[in-house]
Each structure stands twice: as structure tokens, then as C-alpha cells.
Chains A and B, each alone.
Chain A
Amino acid sequence: MTAEELLEKAEQLRQRQQATALRLLLCCSSPCLSCGAGAVKAALAAAAADCEPSIAIEVAATGCLGPCSRGPLLCLQRPGEADVVFERVTPDDARAIFAAALAGLLPDAQRLPADLPFLAGQTRIVLENCGRIDPENIEHALAAGGYAALARALSDFTPAQVCDQVLQSGLRGRGGGGYPTGLKWQLLHKARGDRKFVVANGDEGDPGAYMDRALMESDPHRIIEGMAIAGYATGASQGYVYVRGEYPLAARRIRKAIRDAERLGLLGMRILDSPFSFRIDLRLGAGAFVCGEETALMASIMGRRGQPVPRPPYPAERGLWGAPTVINNVETFGNIPPILRDGPERLAALGTGKSRGTKIFALCGDVVENGLIEVPMGTSLREVVYRIGGGLAGDVAFKAAQTGGPSGGCIPAEHLDISLDYETLRELGSIMGSGGLIIMGERTCMVDVARYFMEFCMDESCGKCSPCRAGTVQMYRLLDRICNGSARERDLKHLEQLCRLLPEASLCGLGLAAANPVLSTLSWFRDEYLEHIRAHRCPAGTCRMSELPPIMMADELLQRIAAGRLNGEAF
């Protein structure tokens, strides 16, 4: 297939879609499937099969529509009308909606308002096709403009120009580090070597983050297209997608997308009839958080234990099998096609300061609307929580927002008005991270949250360097003591010492950032720590405080002895 044929085919597919009298798009990503989307799909397929064949009807299983806590979600498309989304659809509802839609009606029940702030407050660029296309059908992706950016890159730009375009857009790594993607690509472009590799990091390990899963499940072709463009720009001919082992559906859909793209000549040898060749293989992770770190990830791709090695040399110099390698998050690759298609100005026009474009967040926790959102960088936290998220659920006050998972920190209520971008979050002692945004109400104990993340880091430490291996264990024990009531004030000093030691002495990102949740909660919620230690009570009511610190134990012993004597008991 040549570039012209691709565009022609896409146009044909678009026209066919527009001529379809009724399109029913059912969200079939993990959350909606867990709420019973499978049964709804079967009901719709049966209803459509019973219909008169003369009416053009399409029932498609799509990816994530966004407001995941309202699933299963069903989107109704009719030519010349705005899309209508229905929430919490059961098989019976689906049949009723289908029948009504056939009769030209629009049922009111379960309809999501078109101006729902959760949807209206977003700027969807990376997620533009999510929920609009069937991820297992490449024709849907083509109709939505898939691979057009790759065609444009191959025909209109030299590899160096592609790097420039990406640099001009101001795109920075979406996996958390925030390194300018264009610079990374230029480094690889200039690196010498016959073999170069492009790796997409889909090992989304942060608990409470699922942007990458949603993107891989909903629009796998976009990631593949982004990787192919990266391959062209950097001179690599082999790519790997590393998918987290816990995401079997994402892995299945990416595998299928790779196969379909190969079949149409959009991957493999002589892509779109150009001299450029690029192939992609999938590697499935096996449940090790540390593999999100780039050197550990490379070890895992090569079939070894996922243990990091010191940098430099950076992967751009010596990566997979010693060859220059570029590693980007899957969301970063998702940003690439719009840059090439619409020009770098569109991305550069969004955002604030050095953070350009949009960011996807997985908004969850104690908010009314849980789900996936994409907002311009620099959107205020207040806007995200109260407008898009609909405020806190269940009559509790906002206490903190946690970003960046076990490498990040908490943002307290007094900073609700901050702008969500790389720099501001770092100033507040948190990080952008991959995009988990967990909203916590006043009934969440911040010491317990710190302990939770420390337990996570302790379990996930690969054991290679001792500051991380032993430090996380010691920090966990200290935090556990504070939570169970047996801590004394000097434990807090030890904790702070370790908080300084880990970032200085650890080998990789896991250990370097493991102290962040503790440092952050200590700086904003120190009172809570002190209340646990001094007053022996948990202000949020989460910790059980079942133990006593050594000194208080002695006091209690004396009291009991005295009481025993008074009651005439033998002690």
C-alpha cells in the first residue's frame, strides 16, 4: 500500500461510517467489561442480527470512554446528530435503547448530559480516538486518521526534521521523568551503529494509575504509529512494546494491532512503499515494578532479572544488546501522531511554561467521578477535583491529592489552586509521575498512606543496592511503629535521616524516590505524625494503635502493678 492508497482507503471507510444509519459503540475496556459489558454486547449483537438487513447498523466494541465508574457505557451515533452516551447499561436497557433508536427516538433515561463537566472539561488529543474506534479493527483506526501521520512523516520530512518537529512541540516524557522527547530522539538519531532500538514502556506499575492500560486497550494503533515514526526519525528498525504482565487484554489488543498493521504494509519491510522498514515485537512483563525503570526494563526485554544498572552510559549510547536505544512511555508515543499530522504548534499552544500539551490522569479515590481524563498541562488541581471530578464523594472534606504513586507525594488542601505541570509539582515535593491522581478525603490517614507506599517500595525493591534494599525495610518498620502506636519521637528523627540517605545513595529511580511519599507527608502533615506519637491517637481514625511505645509500657506496667496491689491480686 502506498501513502495515497492509505488516504484513499481511509476516506472510503469514513464515508461508509457516515452512511451507517445507526452506530452503537459499546465501551469494552477492563472497567466496563468488569461491570458486565460482555452481556450487553451479546444482547446488542443479537438485536442487530434480528433487524432488517436493509438498515445499515453497526455494533462495535470500543475502548475507554472516560467516566469509568458509570460503566458499562454505550455511545449512540447517528448521521448528522451529536453522539449520545448512556451510562450503567444492562442488556435489557441496551435492547430498549436499540429499539428506540431504530424508531428514531432518543430515550432520556440513563443519558449522560452532553455538557457533563467530566467530559466537557477535557481536551482530548491523545485519547481522541478512545471510545470512538474498535481497537481490534484496523479499519476503524484508519477511518479515524490512523497512520496518516506516519505517511506524512515518510513523504514530507527527513528523519532529522521529524526530530525537530517533536522538539518544537515541546513534548516531554510522559512516564514521569519529563525529559524532552525531541532531544532524546536527536541523541539516538546522531548515535552511530547499525542496530538501534525503539522501546515503548507500557509497564505501568504505579498503583492507582491506569492511563497506559486504557490507551493500549483503546487505541493500540496510535502507539504503533508513534513508534514507527520514532523508528524513522532515529534510524531504528526494531521496536519493542513492553506491556505489564497484569494487563492481558492490552497485550492481546496490541498483538492483534501489530499483526493487522503488518498485513496492510504499515509495519514490516518497505512501509508504505518507502525504503523504511520497521518491525515491532511485544514483550510481556511479569510483575516487577522496578522494570518500569529503563535499564531494568531493558534487562527484562533481554530475558534477564529486571535489575537496573548505573547510568551513564544512557540507553541512547548503550541500550538493548549494547546498541543505542530510545525508551519512551506509551503515552509519549500517543502524542506523536498529532504532532506530525497537525504540526507542532498545536501541542505547543497548550499548556504552561515548559510543560506543553496535555496530560492524561487517572482520577480516582474519594471523588464523585472516577475515570480517565485528559487536560491541558497547567490545569489547576481545584478544577480537576471539583469541576471535572464533581467534588468529593460522601460528604467529606478534601485532604490531599496523591500524584506520582510510590515515587510522588501528596498535595494538601492549601495548594488546591496549583497548576498541574512538571515544575510546580516538583516544587511542592511531588512529581507528575505517570499520571495517577488519587483524591483523599479527611478520613484517610497520611501516615498510613506513607506506610502503604513504603511497603510497596520494600516489596518491589530489586535488592541490588543496599540503601534501597535495607533502607526501605527500616523505613517501613519505623512507619509501621508510628501507625501501631509503639513509636517514640526519636523514631521520627531516624526516619528523617533515612529520607535524606536514600535519595543520595540509591542506584535507580525506585530507591531515589522511595522516600518522597514520606518526605511529602512529613512536610505537609507533620502534626499527624506527632499526634500518633505524642497523643497516641490517629486523627483520621484509620490506624488501630494497638501497641504501646516502650516507655509507656513501663508506665502501664507500674499502674497495673499498683492496681493489682490495691485489688489484692498477686501480680
Chain B
Amino acid sequence: MNVNEKFSALRKGLLEFLLLQIIAAEKVYVADILRQLSQTEFATQEGTLYPLLSKMRREGLLDYQWKESEAGPPRKYYQLTARGREQLRETQEYWGRINGTVKKLAQK
């Protein structure tokens, strides 16, 4: 089992955190998100992304606006709600603590 497989569950769990970060930076639609993730370890597909985005919207973390596009059907542009920003702040804090722990234990 290589590192890539070992951390697949971890990556899956972190995807929501990354989405919050990406959407916090600017209004994006799904193709933008896929492009930003494509060169990273978190490269993913629409089949995974849409269910996750819908779930996050249902939980009140996201909202979207329809925008006309010159190439094809209208697109959904996602943005964070107040609750989404709150969640992002909490997650960043927690992630920072985890990182700190990992580094601290490695130094010993």
C-alpha cells in the first residue's frame, strides 16, 4: 500500500475544507474548482464534486447564483455564506493545531 492509497480517506475528508478555501477566495463555478484542484493531490471529478457541493449547500455553508455564459447553458457560481466562513475559520484553526502537533512530535 503506497502513501497515495493510504491517505485516500484523509484526502476525501479534506476535500470539503479545500472547497471552502477555494470558494472563499472568489466566486467560482465547478469547472474553475476542478481546474484549481487538477494539478494537486486532490484532483477530482464532477461525479464527486456535485454531490459534495449539494450537501454543503443543504448544510447552509454555500450559496450560488446563476450566471449566463456565452458558451452553453447558465452556470452556478458558488459563494460562502456567513456560516460557511465561520466553518472555514474553525477548520483552519483546527488544521493549524493538527499541523503543529505533527511538527512538534516530529522534532522530539
Tell whether A pairs with B.
no
